[in-house]
Amino acid sequence: MREHFLVCPFDEKLLSRLKNERIAIVTNGFEQVHHICESFNDNGNTLHCLVIHYSGSVVSIPFHENLKNIPMAIFANELGPFKEIMARIHMLRELNTRIFLNSDNKANYTNIHILASLGVDCGIFFGENEIDWSALNDLMTYAIYAKVGHATIEPFMYAVKHYSPDKLTDFGTVYFENRESYLHIDKDENIAHTSKDLKAGKFIATGVEALSQIRENKFYQDAEYAWQEFFLNENPCAYCQAWRICVGKFTETFEKNPGCRQFFIDLMDAADFYRTAESKNKKKEIWQP
Ligand code: SF4
């Protein structure tokens, strides 16, 4: 069996052509959520996750009991007033949902911190503006080192959990963008490694029939070594100690905003800390009276 999840828009014709696949459906709102879930009754397909790019604030989402068992990743730009979040907090904690907020909105670094401390699994996604590496580092420090209980914050938790000093760790998985785990497919059955490639027309193949043989596909195989390009050209990532946990994700903005390097070095330290703490797997024992 191929190990990939598929990422695609909601298109009933496309879904009817897919069989025994694990699928993440990308959508813009909540109106169709139940209709999408009902469409998974046929063909042995299973819903991996609903990926919802929501243009409103999180507080304006019509959260309801009947969303409880649906796996959802919600990407939103704003959270909204905490007073209104608190009115929904019990529901939010119970949903099978991770809420991602946009790094372009500075308030979101604090919002994510508070959301996690309230027990809501959440994360940051990277927008178009310069990243505040210092604020991101503070958030990561809280996510990994804080002793007080809180929900997970991504992509930090994924990165430290999967980090290995001997291989590359691609936290793009958190955003459904990792060629080892995900393939993106549009309603015309064009297949690409990432959503960006799909939009840019950089297809690996076309037609759902190609999925079963995708690992033998030349374009698929070529992409496996695309990262080597970084080392063939003059590129700051080629000399970066944090390469194996960042894999050049911020290379285009490095010149203007070079804080990525220190951030990812600190993230590797956090991963070492996490691994050590996990392997000891025992609580500190204080003397007993
Ligand atoms: S941290 Fe910055 S310099 Fe290092 S690999 Fe990532 S983008 Fe390149």
In the predicted structure, residue 242 carries a pLDDT above the cut 90: yes
* Smallest CA separation from ligand 1 atom 3, residue: 237
Please provide the DSSP assignment of 96-164 as one string.
SEEEEEETTSTHHHHHHHHHHHTT--EEEE--SSPP-HHHHHHHHHHHHH--S----EETHHHHHHH--
Edge-first strand listing for the sheet containing 122-125: 153-154, 122-125, 97-102, 72-78, 46-57, 22-27, 5-9, 182-185, 190-192, 205-206
The ligand 1 atom nearest the CA atom of 251: 7
Binding site membership of 237 for ligand 1 (Cβ less than 6 Å): yes
Is residue 131 lining ligand 1, measured as CB closer than 6 Å?
no
Stronger pLDDT, 282 or 127, i.e. the higher one: 127
| Number of neighbours of residue 279 by Cβ within 10 angstroms | 8
Please determine, for residue 286, whether its predicted confidence score (pLDDT) is greater than 80: no
- What local confidence, expressed as pLDDT, does residue 288 receive? 79
Position 2 scores a pLDDT of 59
Mean pLDDT of the chain: 92
Instruction: Decide which of 62 and 228 is more confident.
Output: 62
Q: For residue range 178-228, what is the model confidence (pLDDT) as tens digits?
A: 988 999 999 999 999 999 999 999 999 999 999 999 999 998 888 777 777
The residue-averaged pLDDT of 79-98 equals: 94
| Confidence check: pLDDT of 42 > 90 | no
pLDDT at 32 over 70: yes
Q: Per DSSP, which regions of the chain are E strands?
A: 5-9, 22-27, 46-57, 72-78, 97-102, 122-125, 153-154, 182-185, 190-192, 205-206
List the structure tokens of 126: 């990277």
Cα–Cα distance, 268 to 265 (Å, whole number):
5
Candidate from 131, 169, 237 with most ligand 1 atoms within 8 A of CB, to mutate: 237
Residue 233 pLDDT more than 80?
no
Is residue 267 within 6 Å of ligand 1 at its C-beta? no
pLDDT value for 282: 66
Ligand 1 close to Cβ of residue 268 (< 6 A): no
Say which residue the tokens 């695309």 belong to: 226
pLDDT given for residue 283 in this prediction: 67
Q: Which pLDDT belongs to residue 100?
A: 98
Asked if residue 242 has its Cβ within 6 Å of ligand 1, the reply is: yes
pLDDT at 289: 76
Q: Is the pLDDT of residue 284 over 70?
A: no
Q: Which atom of ligand 1 is nearest to the CA of 235?
A: 8
The answer to whether residues 91 and 69 touch, using CB atoms and an 8 Å cutoff, is no
Q: Which of 162, 154, 190, 199 is nearest to 6 (CA)?
A: 190
Q: Residues in the chain, how many?
A: 289
pLDDT in tens, 249-267: 999 998 888 899 999 999 9
- The verdict on the CB of residue 264 being under 6 Å from ligand 1 is yes
Q: Which of the four pLDDT bands, split at 50, 70 and 90, describes residue 278?
A: confident
Tally: H helices and E strands in the chain = 12, 10
CB 45 within 8 A of CB 19: yes
The SS3 assignment for 42 reads: coil
Q: What is the pLDDT of residues 107-165, one digit of tens each?
A: 999 999 999 999 999 999 999 999 999 999 999 999 999 989 999 999 999 999 999 98
More confident residue, 107 or 282: 107
Q: Is the CB of 248 under 6 A from ligand 1?
A: yes
Measured from the Cα of 265, ligand 1's closest atom is: 1
* pLDDT value at residue 222: 85
